[in-house]
Amino acid sequence: MELGIFSLMSQRDVSKPVNEIYKETIDLIQLAEEIGFDTAWLTEHHFGNYCMCPSPLMLASHVAARTTRIKMGLAVLVLPLYHPLRLLEEIGMVDQLSDGRLVIGFGSGYQAFEFERFGHDLKENWALTHEIMDILEMGIAEGRVAYDGKHFQIPETAIGTPVLQKPRPDVFVAGNEPAYLARCAKAGYTPIVTVGGAGTDALLGVHGHIEKTFAEAGHTGPLPFAMNRSIYVTDDKDDARDAAERVLYTARLVMAFRGQYEKLEGIEVIPQPYKDEPSLDSILENLPFGDPESCAEKMIREIKATGACHYSMFAQFGGMDHKRARRSLERIGAEVLPIVDKALGGIKEFGPGKVAAAAER
């Protein structure tokens, strides 16, 4: 099983300098690499403080130059917001610059707010996504594109910046449209799932839906499944409760965008309570928050329940102070992962010595 660190890069305090957010993100990724994480996930959103990364490919290129081993994961490229030929060239360029450390992430997008400002209709997102995936898959596999679709008509075009990895980089996908999942099953892509502050039952519900759709598409064997979970290690109950509030803050922004009732003041998205939102107590119960042993126990339970091949960790969320996030990540490496590793039969080598060396950097 592989491990990832997920960076949303929120600017909850809109007075906080954006370059400081980027520096903190890079610092945590460098620490994660030294601990032994496999992938740094960089996400994409626009025009609001929910996420300050409009270009995960640009950031991946920069972070690749600041690291040596950890892979650059795109979680995810919002496909309808791109022209596929430009995206194809830039994917190849970043894979070349990172010496083959790029992990591609596909997604259709869900924020009408973003689509409208780019001149797109969210209702067309799946149709656009399928055509763009056709073009990207052709270009990556063949080094050329010729396409005649409803949204894109591309004459015979050679791609001058092919991906370095052969036959292609790993691909992770977000989204649950049936036809999309079916094509992902046939292509050998890995679904990556998040359920916010919900518990194992919610994860298993999504897992079951994906497993059924993959099976109907002809997939056999274990389901490739990746999850992203917020995690925070602390011995202080008030500290843990504050972290849970930051999960709820993030969920309120997500639900507002999904329900298309978001309110903005400049770039600041105003958090609004939503129907049936989880309590802080339920978030604390569901997520790996608290002492190292309880965090490890929850991780182990969900990994075993889903058979996950990749566990991504949301380590700094909801405007959390960087020092707190870094201290938690250090403890994840030194105290949580060795327990998980032992229980699951050996993921990889973790331990206090390795983390101490990383912390001294």
Alpha helices in 123-236 (DSSP H): 125-142, 178-187, 200-216
Cis peptide bond N-terminal to 167, omega within 30? yes
Cα(176)–Cα(108) distance, integer angstroms: 10
Q: Grade residue 358 by pLDDT with cuts at 50, 70 and 90.
A: very low
Residue 345: the pLDDT is 84
Cα(190)–Cα(224) distance, integer angstroms: 5
β-bridge mates for residue 316, sequence order: 7
Q: What is the mean pLDDT of the chain?
A: 96
pLDDT above 90 covers a percentage of the chain that reads: 95
Residue 347: the pLDDT is 65
Which of 325, 285, 239, 240 has its CA nearest to residue 7?
Answer: 325
Which of 110, 49, 48, 116 has its CA nearest to residue 78?
Answer: 110
Domains by residue range for the chain, with CATH? 2-359 (3.20.20.30)
Whether the pLDDT of residue 120 is over 80: the answer is: yes
Whether the pLDDT of residue 35 is over 90: the answer is: yes
Work out the average pLDDT over 180-199: 98
Q: Is 302 exposed, middle or buried (0-12, 13-18, 19+ CB in 10 A)?
A: buried
| Element housing 107 (H / E) | strand 102-107
Work out the average pLDDT over 163-167: 97
Q: What is the largest CA-CA distance in the chain?
A: 61
CA 121 to mean position of chain CA atoms: 24
CB 52 within 8 A of CB 15: no
Cα(251)–Cα(283) distance, integer angstroms: 11
β-bridge mates for residue 102, sequence order: 72
